[in-house]
Structure formats: C-alpha cells, structure tokens
Amino acid sequence: MTIDITGIHPSSIRSGEKRPTDEAAQKTVPHDKGKEQETKKTVQLTDRSNALEKLQKAVSNLPDVDTQKVESLKNAIREGRFEVNAERIADKIISMHYGEKSE
C-alpha cells in the first residue's frame, strides 16, 4: 500500500491546532536549470503494517462488551452457580502487579 503525501510541510502538522497553510509547502520546488518539479513524497508500508491496519479495523468493529458473556454470568449469579475462586483471583492480581504472564 502506498500513501501519496503532496504539499504537506511538517511544521503545519499539529494535533488539534488549526494553522494557516504554509505557502512554501504549496509551491513547486525549482529543479535543474530553472525547471520546476512538484514536491511529492511516498510512503511504502510493510506487510506487517498492513496486517496491523486490518486488525485495527476488525477490532474497532467489535462491541466493547461481550453481552452474551455478561448475560451468562448474570444468570449464573442469579441461580447460585457462580463460584469465586479467591486463590485464582489472588494469583492473577500478583501476576498483573509483577508483570508476569498469567494463565
């Protein structure tokens, strides 16, 4: 995938801030014996970045909450089938605190 960036000057890029367009970035650049050439830059993305982009799109389409799992847990609690394993919870907390992989 190639992205074509034309006429963008780094100083004109500020997140959340609107600035007047940099005239120098819009003009053509003189090149060899007075000829003018348009400023044009391209970026080539790797297969890995393409895969990451696809993953981000897929994840953004997922719901924030697994409603089926929530309903299942609600039913288990309501019916008295939900059991709390304090040792497992403690192990997970310790693993998260010390950065170890948990099961």
Question: DSSP class of residue 65?
Answer: S
pLDDT digits (tens, 9 = 90+) for 53-85: 899 998 888 888 899 999 999 999 999 999 999
Task: Say if residues 1 and 37 touch (Cβ distance below 8 Å).
Answer: no
Q: Could you write out the three-class secondary structure of 1-54?
A: CEEEEECCCHHHCCCCCCCCCCHHHHCCEEECCCEEECCEEEEECCHHHHHHHH
pLDDT at 6: 59
Backbone angles phi, psi at 91, to 5 degrees: -60, -40
